[in-house]
Amino acid sequence: CVGVYLLKQVFNKKNPPYPPGPPGWPLIGNVLDMPHIKAWLTFTEWGKQYGDISHIKVLGQHIIVLNSVKAAMDMLDNKGTIYSDRPVLPVGGELIGYKNVMPLLPYGDRLRRYRKNFHSVIGTRATVAIYSQVEEVETHRFLKRVLAKPDQLQAHVRHTTGAVILRISHGYEVKENDDPFVDLADRVMNEWSLATAPGAFMADVVPFLVKVPEWFPGAGFKRLAREWHDDLEELIFAPYKFVVDQMAAGTAPESFTSNLLRDGSLSAEDEHSVKWSAATLYAGAFDTTVSTINGFFLAMTLFPDVQKKAQAEIDAVIGPDRLPSFAEQDSLPYIEALVKEALRWHSVIPTGFPHCVSEDDIHDGYYIPKGSMVVTNIWFMLNDPERYANPSQFNPERFLGKEPETDPRTICFGFGRRICPGIHLAEASVWLSAAMSLAVFDILKAVENGIEITPEVDPLSGTISHPKPFKCSIEPRSSRAIALIEQDANY
Ligand code: HEM
């Protein structure tokens, strides 16, 4: 009745409720509701049932799930001063040391320093353009590798992405095989993704276990954490020393690190920021770029009409006698739309990196307690049928014409003060891989025993989601294309 409703309103004003969500159980709360596989699908269901902002509580931790761009902007952008912290991971963050890597760095002065470093070196399209030649040389090498061994596409994507990043971060040119820095970085990235997965260690949920000595039964995670800590330290110091030595010898090429060290004597804190932000560049860029480029190849295998249109544009604008370069970026609108669609269609960080709330807040009448973890369901935002017609279709045309759909770059790179600082580099790498590959290769369905194989669209679980490994066939488009790939480019 009206009386009860009014009483509820008065009560809610004084004690606003948590946002709605699955009811949970006495004592254990929502432990059983927390999804571990493809969490974005469960979060999407919650969005349908409970609205844009939902809430669960898992072992004392409040988790807020956002299912709309508006809610993400209202909270993470507009209230950025209190929605920009990161969760504390007792094992990954503290014991191993990942809390010094930017995605897990607490909000504060050190974060501002790292982000300033990123901004000064790769913060705009113009600053990223300094590395155009590095990207062009390495991507041309990628074409050569694919031509030689097309069935190892996914290994070539990883190798090339690592090569581009190490040249940009430390001016280091990788060896074709068994490169020590690439192997180390690969190992650390693998350890990072294991250690930061939700529920990776019991001690993340029951933090006092961190204090247990290494010899204690069940404390094997401490030995692992020590070994992974050592790998991380090596990844930070070895490439940094490489740059310092080269600078002393006067032979250091342009790189993120050499650029930041050029200013001369640095305080200990500045030196820390340079070392760790350079290594962060690898951590932030590697898996995300690999996953997006693999997603592009998957889309081309499944949507041949899109591929043909893209090739027709390249043929008309560039012709058959040279490879596309960054100089033509603005003359290839269909390729630009295709890159946007690649960023939308395969969502690389489907549930974002969690933000943490540093003060109590009341938002839209809901109580958001200090310490809450805020998760953005980026996957749904990029697949919301009200925003993107037929979202499962790979259709670059949705971004062309008079009424383009929302630019996915305003969603897929996250929100607020923790928005991805590598946007321009990510776009440049994906653009060049797409344009150069389409210029010279046809990407087709593989045929085995006379039967065409249609790959599944089945993104894998993980903070960074990769497309499920798939087969495709890659053939040079013509003998002219082979000659273009094989020639020594003059960059
Ligand atoms: C397609 C490629 C990429 C996608 C989709 C992507 C997406 C994202 C997202 C969603 C976040 C979390 C933002 C938030 O907390 O709201 C993020 C953070 C971050 N990204 Fe990217 N990213 C990509 C490539 C890159 C590249 C190339 C770099 C490095 C050059 C990079 C470096 C980082 C770093 C350092 C953070 C942490 C920022 C912070 O915590 O303040 N990312 N990225």
DSSP string, 406-471: PPTHHHHT--GGGS-TTHHHHHHHHHHHHHHHHHHEEEE--EETTEE------PPPSSSPPPPP--
Domain that holds residue 249: 2-486
Binding residues for heme, as ranges, are 420
Considering the domain boundaries, does residue 427 fall inside one?
yes
Considering the domain boundaries, does residue 50 fall inside one?
yes
* CATH code: domain of residue 179: 1.10.630.10
484 vs 138, 164, 395, CA distance in Å? 15, 21, 29
pLDDT tens for the chain, 491 residues: list them.
Answer: 555 555 555 555 568 999 999 998 888 889 889 888 899 999 999 999 999 999 999 888 999 999 999 999 999 999 999 999 999 999 999 999 999 999 999 999 999 999 999 999 899 999 999 999 999 999 999 999 999 999 999 999 999 999 999 999 999 999 988 888 888 888 998 898 888 876 678 888 777 888 888 888 878 889 999 999 999 999 999 999 999 999 999 999 999 999 999 877 888 999 999 999 999 898 899 999 999 999 999 999 999 999 999 999 999 999 999 999 999 999 999 999 999 999 999 999 999 999 999 999 999 999 999 999 999 999 999 999 999 999 999 999 999 999 999 999 999 999 999 999 999 999 999 999 999 999 999 999 999 999 999 999 999 988 899 999 999 999 999 999 999 999 986 66
Considering the domain boundaries, does residue 141 fall inside one?
yes
Considering the domain boundaries, does residue 235 fall inside one?
yes
Considering the domain boundaries, does residue 264 fall inside one?
yes
- How far away, in angstroms, is 444 Cα from ligand 1 center? 31
406 φ/ψ sector (left φ>0, alpha ψ -120 to 50, else beta)? beta
Q: Is 13 exposed, middle or buried (0-12, 13-18, 19+ CB in 10 A)?
A: exposed
Residue keyed to tokens 């952008």: 77
Sign of the CA dihedral running 65, 67, 71, 72: positive
Residue 96 near ligand 1, beta carbon < 6 Å: no
Q: Domains in the chain: how many in total?
A: 1
Please provide residue 197's backbone torsions phi and psi, each rounded to the nearest 5 degrees: -65, 145
Q: How does DSSP classify residue 327?
A: G
How far is it, in rounded angstroms, from Cα 129 to Cα 90? 39
Q: How does DSSP classify residue 485?
A: H
- How far away, in angstroms, is 413 Cα from ligand 1 center? 6
Considering the domain boundaries, does residue 491 fall inside one?
no
Residue 381 near ligand 1, beta carbon < 6 Å: no
Bridge-based pairing of strands 441-444 and 447-448 is unpaired
Q: Is 244 exposed, middle or buried (0-12, 13-18, 19+ CB in 10 A)?
A: middle
How far is it, in rounded angstroms, from Cα 212 to Cα 373? 27
Is the whole model's pTM more than 0.90, yes or no? yes
- ipTM tops the 0.95 cut: yes
Residue 443 near ligand 1, beta carbon < 6 Å: no
* Residues 54 and 364: beta-carbon distance below 8 Å: no
Considering the domain boundaries, does residue 219 fall inside one?
yes
Please provide residue 212's backbone torsions phi and psi, each rounded to the nearest 5 degrees: -65, 140
Q: Which residue, judged by its Cα, is nearest atom 23 of ligand 1?
A: 288
